[in-house]
Structure 1
Amino acid sequence: MTPVEVLRGGGPVILGMPHTGTWLPDCVADALNPRGRALSDTDWHVDELYRGLLPDVTTVRAVFHRYVVDPNRDPAGGSLYPGQNTTGLVPLTDFDGQAIWDSPPDQPEIARRVARFHAAYHDALAAEIRRVKAIHGVAILYDCHSIRATVPHLFRGVLPDLNIGTYDGVSAAPQVEAAVAGICASAGGYSSVVNGRFKGGWTTRHYGRPRHGVHAIQMELAQSTYLTEEAPPWIFDRDRAARLRAVLQDILETLADLAPRLRS
């Protein structure tokens, strides 16, 4: 199994998809408990949600599941949100704080997974950023995510529908953040927030270097915006998705149009 799927486009926007994959090596599947094998923390159908929205977009997608190793976490193991509940480089629990392993991986096994899977994803992503920037003088990395709207272990209350993360403005130019935030704020029927509970994961923080022509922004979608129900079997609701896709298309087209004005 190839751990990363890359679809190359000629435009300035790159879609990162670190959490849509569901593939598990046999040794990982065998070590998970039944709760872990349910893969409930997948970013369900996010690849389908974004498919075809922007011509010439590049997509880099992890085929493996985040329980193998999470490509949106610091490979050194640092926490994204110190002092808050979150999952780590190789999660030991699911988003509800429940154990997912019969046999948790030890440190040598985690290191092997980082080398085989985490590094493969980021080698591919970094290569596409370099390629796109060489063509356009700028690259915009748009990191695609989703999560259940209600996860008490991770956050209080109900998550806004559209959660924009720029690491408090560090990972993207102000006009990138403002463009996306403006579209989300004016999208009828959707709530949104900028740098709320989700400020951008390791990918956004690692690659976002506006002064060097690389702008990174994360979009965390509440799954209630496009699933029939936030529970198995995680059914893609085509009517809900169609409404949301119109908003997402506006965002991606706006970013592509903005790119020439971001050249350093």
Structure 2
Amino acid sequence: MTDWLTVTPGDAPLIVAFPHTGTDIPARIEAGMIDPWRARKDADWWIDRLYAFATELGATTVRTGISRSVIDVNRDPSGQSLYPGMTTTGLCPTETFDGEPLYQPGHEPDAVEIEARRTEFFDPYHAAITAQIERLSADGGPVVLYDAHSIRSYVPRLFDGQLPQFNIGDNGGVTCDPALTSAVEAACIASGDTHVVNGRFKGGWTTRHYGRPAKGVHAIQMELACRGYVDEPSEMTAATWPTPFDAARAAPITRTLRDVLTAARDFAISQRA
């Protein structure tokens, strides 16, 4: 654990990763940005708090406190787009989801700066995930890596209309056993809320990089629409967003997510029998 990277080891064959809940921006980087609020607007707000129960299930959690506006640890470090032909943000984003510039002119990160940020923040985060996968699979048993995300329900630049509540991604059935996807999907269906498998979000770099079911690592991504646990204002401003986390408000979706993670954990355990 460091002041920005937190690893909480558990004994179950389940890892929950939080790549986008961080809001820390080093002062030297923030000084070149246009608006600190804008630079934090697209965080996966409160997701680590929403999944606070994960450790009760024996899950290991890995979280970076660094803002995705500094470096997005769920993007391909080569710079290759995860969704060719579609709007997305890069390894070191220069604009928000809404297309607003993040940096003052002349302060955008160049190749040297991007590499420095990768060395300082990206590599240690993924080294931590790799270490936990190796620890939990040391006995030869399979492990599930669950990548936890959220996004506003409406982001016209990224997708049309309202996003389903639960967005499950396994990159078209590549990154995990279909039985795991089915178990996660069943928990979402039981909630009575909307869901989709491999819709707009099929799994980011974390899911695609680590998901090797033939080698015992099953990776799956969950992208939640924020409306499931916080109220989304009609107008996004520094005064209205983010709305505070309220455990009572989030209780219904928390129950579903507990079922989702339990299903993921139990899948991994069943494969060890």
TM-score normalised by the shorter chain: which range applies?
over 0.9
Taking the TM superposition and a 5 Å limit, the aligned residue runs for 1:148-159 are 148-159=152-163
Q: Find the aligned partners of 1:181 and 1:28 in 2 and give their Cα distance.
A: 40
Name the counterpart of 2:115: 111
Q: Which residue type is aligned with residue 246 of structure 2?
A: D
Describe the superposition over 1:56-79 as per-residue Cα deviations: whole angstroms up to 9, x where unpaired.
110000110001110000111110
Matches within 5 A, 1:10-49: 10-34=11-35, 37-49=38-50
How many angstroms does 1:223 deviate by?
0.4
Number of the residue aligned with 2:73:
71
CA–CA distance in 1 between the matches of 2:156 and 2:271? 39
SS in 2 for 1:31: coil
Corresponding position: 1:213 with 2:216: yes
Partner amino acid for 1:124? A
Equivalent pair of 1:226/1:241 in contact (CA under 8 Å): yes
Matches of 1:246 and 1:73, distance apart in 2: 30
Alignment partner of 1:57 is 2:43: no
Spell out structure 1 runs of 4+ moving beyond 6 A. Answer: none
Identity of matched residues, %: 47
Matches within 5 A, 1:164-175: 164-175=168-179
Q: CA deviation at 1:234?
A: 2.4
Within a 5 Å distance, the mapping from 1:74-85 to structure 2 comes to 74-85=76-87
How far did residue 133 of structure 1 move?
A: 1.1
> Match for residue 238 of structure 1?
247
What corresponds to 1:96 in structure 2? 98
**Number of residues paired by the alignment?**
263
Partners in 1 of 2:37 and 2:257 — Cα distance? 31
Q: Which residue of 1 aligns with 2:267?
A: 258
One-letter identity of the residue aligned with 1:194: V
| TM-score (normalised: structure 2) | 0.92
Relative to structure 2, which stretch is displaced further, 136-145 or 163-172? 136-145
**Where does the alignment leave 5 or more consecutive residues of structure 2 unmatched?**
none
Q: SS where residue 62 of structure 2 aligns?
A: strand
CA distance in 1, matches of 2:62, 2:41: 22
2:175–2:212 contact (8 Å) kept in structure 1: yes
Q: Given residue 215 of structure 1, which amino acid in structure 2 is its aligned partner?
A: H
- Conservation of the 8 A alpha-carbon contact between 1:3 and 1:62: yes
Deviations 1:35-54 (A, max 9, x none): 66551000000000000244
Q: Read off the aligned partner of 2:146 and give its amino acid letter.
A: Y
Contiguous gaps of at least 5 residues in structure 1: none
Tell me, yes or no, if the aligned pair for 2:144 and 2:264 is still in contact at 8 Å.
yes
For 1:257 and 1:212, locate their aligned partners in 2 and report how far apart those are by CA, in whole Å.
Answer: 18
1:149-228 maps to which residues of 2 (within 5 A)?
A: 149-188=153-192, 190-228=193-231
3-state DSSP of counterpart to 1:145: strand
Q: Tell me the TM-score normalised to structure 1 length.
A: 0.95
* Per-residue deviation, 1:34: 1.2
8 A contact 1:3–1:121 mirrored in 2: no
Using the TM superposition, give the Cα deviation of residue 238 of structure 1 relative to its aligned residue in structure 2, in angstroms: 2.6
Does structure 1 conserve the Cα–Cα contact (< 8 Å) formed by 2:33 and 2:39?
A: no
Cα distance in 2 between the residues matched to 1:143 and 1:11: 16
